[in-house]
Amino acid sequence: RFESLPTRTYTDITMSSDDKQKLMLADWEMDRERYVKLMTALIGEVKHLQNNPPKYVPKEDLAIAHIKALLEPVKDVVKIEHVTYVEGRGNLILTYEGKRGAESPIMSFVGSHLDTVPANPENWTKDPFKLTRDGDKLYGRGTTDCLGHVGMITELFLQLGTHKPALDVTVVAVLIANEENSSALGVGVDKLEADGKLAHLKRGPLFWVDCADSRPCIGTGGVQGWQLTAVGKLFHSGLPHKAINSIEMVMDAVAYVQRRFYEDYPPHDKEREYNFDTPSTMKPTNVLCPEGSLNQIRGEATVQGDIRLTPFYSMEAVKASVEKYVAELNADVSQIERPAERGPCSKYALPDEKLVGKVELKWLGHYAEGIACDITSPGFRAMRAAVQHVTDNGEPFSLTGTLPLVRELQTAGFDVQLVGFGRMSVYHGIDEYCVLGEMANGFKVLCSVIGQLNAAAAADGGGGGAAGAK
C-alpha cells in the first residue's frame, strides 16, 4: 500500500490545501512549553512508575491520567482507548483515522512506555522524581527512557486532533505498560498482541519509538543469561594438592566455553551491512563464592554472565551448543587444566580419592531474540529520509543491546522499525536527561514520516482531495 514512496529522497508533503488552512505537516512544530508542562506532570509520577517487582510495581494509569487530560479537547477527533489487564496498569491506544476509515492504510508508533527503571536519589545530583530544566536539558528518570517519547507522541496527537488534516493513512499510537520487566506477563504489549488489539497494525509499518540518539536503529541483539558453577573440594590452602580449586576451575571452564562459542559463532557477514558495533559475545559479568577465610581453597565458585547474539544466529542453537560444550568438558575435566600457568598442584581431579570436579550450567531467565529490521521497507525508507532531512544524519546503526518484544512482533507479521530521540549515554543511568531540541526534532521527524507515507497511500489509490475538518 505504500510502494509509491521514493526510495531515498525526502518529499515535503502538503497536508491541507484548504485556503483557510494551508498546513504542511512537515512544518508543524512541537509546542515546547506545553511539552515541558506535560513532562513535569509525568516525571512527577515516576516514584510510582518504577518497575522492579516485588519492591517496585508501577501504576501506569497515573501517567495515563495526565495524557488523557491533555487530549480531552480532541477526544471527538482522536479515538482514545484505555486498555487495562491489571488494575492500575493500563495501556493507551490513540487513533487518528484516515479518510477511508477501515480501508485506510495504517502506520503506527508503538513501544513508548509508561514505566521506568528505578532511581536512587542518593546517587543523583538532580531529583530523579522531579523534572529539572537546565537550559535545553530536561533531567529526571524517564526523560530519555521513555516518558520523553510519551510526551512527544501525546503532543503529536494533540496537534493532529487540533489541525484535523485529511489523511489517506490512519495514524495509531500505542503507549504501553510494563516494558521494563519481563517477569510479569499479560500486562502490556504482549497481551495487547495476544488479544488482537494490534492486528490491524500489520497493514503498514510499525515504528517502535524507544531507542536513542535520533537515528534509525536497524538491528538489536538477543540476550540470554547464564551461570557456570564449578564444584571442587574445599581444603586448607597450605595443602593445595588435597583440594580441587573451584575458583581456578570455573575461570578455566569459562575460558573453554568462550573459546568454543567464538569458534562456532564468529562475526557474521550481515553484521557489517547492518552497522553493528560488535559481533555476538559471551562474557562473564558477575562472580559469586561462598564466604570463607583466606586460608581456605573454596569448594564451589560461580560465574554469571550473558550471551549477546546478533539476529543472524539462533539463540536456541547457541544454547544447545553451550550445553554440548559443558557436557564435553565434564567428560574430561583434565582438558582445561593449566599447570604451566596455575602450578603443579592445580588439578581438577583427585584419583586417589575418586573425586572429579564438575561444572554445572544454569540458564538464567528466558531469552529474548534480537531483530534485523527490513531495510527494504517503505517505513524504513521514510524514517531514514525524515531523520536525514531534519537532523542531517540519517545513518542507521545497530547494537547488541536488547529491546524486548520487538522480535516477537516481527515474527507475528509486523513491519517493525526502530527509532528514538533520547540520549543513549544516560539510558537507565544516573542524572538521566533528554534534550528539548532533540525531542522537538523527533516530533518533526514523525510528522515527516506521516507526510511521506500519506503521499504514498494517496498515490497508491486513495486520492488526495482537499483537507477539511472532520
CA 62 from centroid of its chain's CA atoms: 23
Strands 235-236 vs 296-297: parallel, antiparallel or unpaired: antiparallel
CA 303 from centroid of its chain's CA atoms: 26
* Residues 361-375: tens digit of each pLDDT: 999 999 999 999 999
Cell 517477569 belongs to which residue? 183
Short-list 222, 263, 220, 205, CA closest to 386: 205
Short-list 80, 116, 83, 112, CA closest to 96: 80
**How large is the average pLDDT for residues 134-143?**
98
Lowest mean pLDDT segment, chosen from 88-92, 250-254, 364-368: 364-368
Instruction: Please report the pLDDT score of residue 107 as a whole number.
Output: 98
Residue 35 in 3-state DSSP?
A: helix
* Residues 391-410: tens digit of each pLDDT: 988 899 999 999 888 999 99
How is 127-162 classified by DSSP, letter by letter? -TTS-EEETTEEESTTTTTTHHHHHHHHHHHHHHHH
Under a CB-based contact definition with an 8 Å cutoff, are residues 40 and 148 in contact? Answer: no
Residue 229, C-alpha cell as written in the block: 558453577
Biggest CA–CA distance in the chain, Å, is 96
**How large is the average pLDDT for residues 89-111?**
96
**How large is the average pLDDT for residues 215-224?**
96
What is the spatial distance between Cα 184 and Cα 436, in angstroms, rounded to a whole number?
33
Q: How confident is the model at residue 249 (pLDDT cuts 50, 70, 90)?
A: very high
Instruction: Please report the pLDDT score of residue 405 as a whole number.
Output: 86
Whether the predicted pLDDT of 244 surpasses 70: yes
DSSP β-bridge partners for residue 307 = 224, 282
Whether the predicted pLDDT of 9 surpasses 90: no
Q: How confident is the model at residue 11 (pLDDT cuts 50, 70, 90)?
A: very low
CA distances for 150 relative to 68, 173, 187, 210, 415, angstroms: 12, 10, 18, 10, 21
Mean pLDDT of the chain: 92
What is the spatial distance between Cα 191 and Cα 399, in angstroms, rounded to a whole number?
27
Catalytic residues: 115, 179
Residue 4, C-alpha cell as written in the block: 509509491
What is the spatial distance between Cα 308 and Cα 399, in angstroms, rounded to a whole number?
10
* Beta carbons within 8 Å of 409's beta carbon, 6+ residues apart: 110, 189, 193, 198, 206, 208, 416
Phi, psi of 436 (to 5 degrees): -55, -45
Whether the predicted pLDDT of 388 surpasses 50: yes
Q: What share of the chain is helix, strand, coil (3-state, %, to 5)?
A: 35, 25, 40
Phi, psi of 348 (to 5 degrees): -110, 15
What is the spatial distance between Cα 153 and Cα 91, in angstroms, rounded to a whole number?
14
Short-list 106, 153, 189, CA closest to 403: 189
What is the spatial distance between Cα 12 and Cα 157, in angstroms, rounded to a whole number?
20
Instruction: Please report the pLDDT score of residue 400 as a whole number.
Output: 96
Instruction: Please report the pLDDT score of residue 373 as a whole number.
Output: 98
* Residues 321-344: tens digit of each pLDDT: 999 999 999 999 999 999 999 999
**54 C-beta neighbours (distance < 10 Å), count:** 6
Torsion sign across C-alpha atoms 396, 398, 403, 406 = positive
468 or 60: whose pLDDT is higher?
Answer: 60
Short-list 114, 118, 50, CA closest to 84: 114
**How large is the average pLDDT for residues 190-195?**
95
Q: Percent of the chain at pLDDT above 70?
A: 93
**Torsional class of 176: left (φ above 0), alpha (ψ -120 to 50), beta (otherwise):** beta
Instruction: Please report the pLDDT score of residue 209 as a whole number.
Output: 97
**How large is the average pLDDT for residues 8-14?**
35
Q: How confident is the model at residue 184 (pLDDT cuts 50, 70, 90)?
A: confident
Strands 281-288 vs 300-309: parallel, antiparallel or unpaired: antiparallel
**201 C-beta neighbours (distance < 10 Å), count:** 24
What is the spatial distance between Cα 239 and Cα 251, in angstroms, rounded to a whole number?
21
Short-list 290, 287, 286, CA closest to 234: 290
Cell 495509531 belongs to which residue? 172
Q: What radius of gyration, in Å, describes the C-alpha atoms of the chain?
A: 26
Whether the predicted pLDDT of 468 surpasses 50: no
| pTM recorded for the entire structure | 0.86
What is the spatial distance between Cα 22 and Cα 14, in angstroms, rounded to a whole number?
8
